[in-house]
């Protein structure tokens, strides 16, 4: 019905214009012409007012303006005929000009109708059109098989020794093991995310996303483990950012955002959110497109007497080279430098005088996963145990991907990711901790071959991938890397096999097998072993 009214408005306007320009008007008297035009215009304005598209006040203003424009000029004497009556001359307008004017006015009215949603039965206020929504839900069944010859938990930890798995090396106060290394287990998990993006203006966008999450102490995962006696799940704020883009080539993002760097989960887990400030830009050229990102991300604030400031600074430069047949080779070189996270051994004087004793160097259990070389930072007379990082972390990361769009009739992507911690120095570790580190690795890599579309969107679509992953103990900060492989962290190597299949549009299943083995012992001078095989079955829906 509203669409019919819209067409009537446009047709009425076009007819009014046609009447005004028609040659037949020349044969009418001036009074008849003016009366017809006035009646037609008044009827059109009344129709717009009654339909709510024009206010009474605006209609009155339009009529007043028209009357003012139509008033005869006092500076010109009206022309009269032999009978003494006023002569009205109507100029001839060619048919082609009249048709062009009709189409132009009709186009302008239709454009306005489209932008203001005239005649749409589900029309909503203009401001709501600036919002867009996105979300997904994943239900997972996971089985974890641990090696029967894995080292038992709580194998001992002497004060001053290093460890790479504090959760396995230390017993709780009861003397019982505080973790599991040998017994298989399974669990069911769910992940739900809902995001809202708002277009504040042509240059500014704001976004917020809510997600599940068992706690805010796990930065790499938004999974909620089922089996809470039917208790409700916690919902956390996973994204909260504003992005300013002065033009299409670069922009500034501030707040809690997605990973602003081109990378794989070798360095940063897929679900990891970044907090801080990032500037990213790209520039096309004849052979491809260059890109760059730089960011500053605070990890802890500086609280005198409580904690030291910790932060991450990242810089990346890269380019995507266009090849034949729409193939592409993409590479990015990045440097990620952490400040304030490396520990030093505390003195007895510090224990007695500093309110932030030990806490200023602690690498907390809620943050770390497993794999980085840790040591006890407490003074010799302190019987407590506080774990700190032995190495500095200045990570050089080279990420490359070759995308072949026409190989075997399906997209094929070959990815190679290399990482090296330039801050890993055994001599400096000895100066800092007083301990000779005999092992430990400062580098890692991942090789991956993927067949099929990167994401499954439609029924019947599928993809598959195979990857080999090797990540040394101190190649990256274990807090932020993949949380599934080897049950999370660094100091592991092995294979990942994955396949997905579309059940319906935007609904798909995924099967993933992860087989990992420990690289270096949990602690120097100890023979330890840890291996795991994980099978994950996911049901996914995107909306």
* Residues 406, 462 contacting (CB under 8 angstroms): no
pLDDT at 115: 65
Last residue of a domain, one of 78, 98, 123: 123
Number of Cβ atoms within 10 Å of the Cβ of 427? 9
Residues 379 and 263 in one domain: yes
Strand bridging mode 394-404 / 387-389: unpaired
Last residue of a domain, one of 101, 123, 145: 123
Across the chain, mean pLDDT equals 85
pLDDT at 119: 59
Residues 75 and 198 in one domain: no
pLDDT at 200: 94
Residues 90 and 191 in one domain: no
Strand blocks (E) in 122-273? 131-146, 162-163, 185-199, 204-212, 224-225, 235-247, 250-257
Which one, of 487, 509, 482, 490, lies nearest residue 498 by Cα? 509
For residues 290 and 512, give the distance between their C-alpha atoms in angstroms, rounded to a whole number. Answer: 34
Question: What Rg, from alpha-carbon coordinates, does the chain have?
Answer: 35
Instruction: State which residues of the chain have pLDDT below 70.
Output: 1-34, 36-37, 51-54, 66-78, 81-82, 84-85, 87-93, 97, 113-124, 155-161, 170-176, 214-217, 305-307
Which one, of 490, 496, 388, lies nearest residue 443 by Cα? 490
Q: Is the pTM of this model over 0.85?
A: no
For 192, what's the count of Cα atoms within 13 Å in the CB-facing half-sphere? 9
Residues 90 and 142 in one domain: no
Give per-residue pLDDT as tens, 1-11: 444 444 544 45
Number of Cβ atoms within 10 Å of the Cβ of 175? 8
Last residue of a domain, one of 78, 105, 123: 123
Residues 114 and 167 in one domain: no
Residues 390 and 481 in one domain: yes
For residues 113 and 385, give the distance between their C-alpha atoms in angstroms, rounded to a whole number. Answer: 71
Give per-residue pLDDT as tens, 85-100: 676 666 666 777 677 7
Residues 305 and 158 in one domain: yes
Residue whose pair of structure tokens reads 């096999």 in the numeric block? 497
pLDDT at 24: 45
Residues 140 and 10 in one domain: no
Residues 172 and 247 in one domain: yes
Residues 350 and 248 in one domain: yes
The number of residues in the chain equals 543
Beta-ladder partners of 421: 395
pLDDT at 118: 62
Which residues make Cβ contacts (< 8 Å) with residue 324, sequence separation at least 6? none
Residues 187 and 288 in one domain: yes
* Residues 265, 468 contacting (CB under 8 angstroms): no
pLDDT at 447: 98
pLDDT at 53: 62
**Which residues form the domain of 103?**
2-123
Residue whose pair of structure tokens reads 């938990």 in the numeric block? 153
Residues 117 and 134 in one domain: no
* Residues 139, 209 contacting (CB under 8 angstroms): no
CATH of the domain at 435: 2.40.160
Query: What secondary structure, in 3-state letters, does 335-391 show?
Result: EEEEECCECCCCCHHHHHHCCCCCHHHCCCCCCCCCCCCEEECCCCCCCCCCEEECC
- CA distances 219 to 240, 271, 368, 387, 446, Å, are 15, 8, 10, 19, 22
Domain total of the chain: 2
Strand bridging mode 204-212 / 131-146: unpaired
């Amino acid at each position: 019905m509203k669409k019919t009214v819209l067409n009537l408005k446009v047709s009425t306007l076009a007819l009014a214009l046609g009447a005004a320009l028609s040659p037949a008007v020349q044969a009418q008297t001036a009074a008849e012409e003016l009366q017809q035009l006035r009646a037609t215009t008044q009827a059109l304005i009344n129709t717009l007012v009654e339909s709510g598209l024009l206010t009474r006040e605006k209609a009155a203003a339009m009529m007043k303006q028209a009357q003012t424009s139509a008033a005869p000029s006092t500076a010109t004497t009206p022309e009269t005929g032999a009978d003494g009556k006023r002569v009205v001359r109507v100029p001839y307008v060619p048919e082609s000009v009249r048709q062009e004017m009709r189409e132009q006015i009709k186009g302008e009215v239709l454009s306005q109708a489209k932008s203001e949603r005239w005649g749409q039965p589900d029309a909503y206020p203009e401001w709501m059109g600036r919002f867009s929504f996105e979300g997904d839900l994943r239900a997972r069944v996971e089985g974890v098989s641990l090696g029967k010859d894995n080292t038992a938990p709580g194998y001992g930890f002497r004060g001053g020794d290093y460890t790479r798995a504090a959760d396995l090396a230390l017993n709780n106060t009861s003397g019982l093991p505080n973790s599991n290394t040998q017994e298989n287990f399974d669990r069911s998990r769910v992940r739900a995310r809902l995001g809202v993006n708002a277009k504040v203006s042509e240059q500014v966008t704001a976004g917020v996303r809510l997600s599940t999450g068992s706690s805010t102490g796990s930065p790499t995962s938004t999974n909620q483990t089922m089996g809470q006696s039917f208790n409700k799940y916690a919902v956390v704020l996973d994204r909260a950012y504003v992005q300013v883009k002065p033009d299409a080539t670069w922009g500034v993002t501030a707040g809690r955002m997605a990973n602003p760097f081109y990378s794989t989960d070798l360095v940063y887990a897929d679900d990891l959110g970044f907090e801080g400030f990032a500037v990213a830009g790209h520039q096309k050229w004849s052979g491809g497109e260059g890109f760059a990102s730089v960011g500053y991300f605070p990890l802890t604030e500086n609280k005198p007497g409580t904690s030291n400031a910790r932060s991450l600074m990242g810089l990346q430069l890269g380019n995507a080279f266009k090849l034949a047949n729409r193939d592409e080779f993409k590479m990015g070189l990045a440097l990620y430098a952490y400040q304030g996270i490396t520990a030093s051994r505390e003195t007895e004087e510090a224990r007695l005088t500093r309110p932030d004793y030990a806490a200023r160097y602690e690498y907390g259990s809620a943050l770390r996963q497993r794999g980085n070389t840790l040591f006890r930072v407490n003074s010799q007379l302190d019987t407590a145990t506080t774990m700190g990082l032995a190495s500095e972390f200045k990570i050089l990361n080279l990420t490359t991907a070759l995308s072949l769009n026409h190989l075997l009739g399906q997209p094929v992507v070959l990815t190679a990711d290399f990482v090296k911690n330039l801050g890993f120095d055994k001599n400096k570790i000895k100066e800092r901790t007083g301990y000779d580190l005999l092992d430990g690795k400062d580098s890692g890599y991942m090789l991956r071959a993927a067949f099929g579309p990167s994401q499954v969107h439609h029924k019947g679509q599928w993809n598959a991938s195979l990857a080999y992953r090797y990540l040394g103990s101190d190649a990256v900060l274990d807090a932020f890397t993949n949380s599934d492989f080897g049950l999370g962290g660094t100091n592991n190597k092995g294979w990942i096999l994955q396949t997905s299949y579309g059940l319906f549009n935007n609904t798909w299943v995924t099967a993933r097998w992860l087989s990992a083995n420990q690289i270096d012992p949990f602690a120097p001078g100890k023979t330890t072993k840890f291996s795991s095989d994980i099978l994950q079955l996911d049901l996914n829906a995107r909306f």
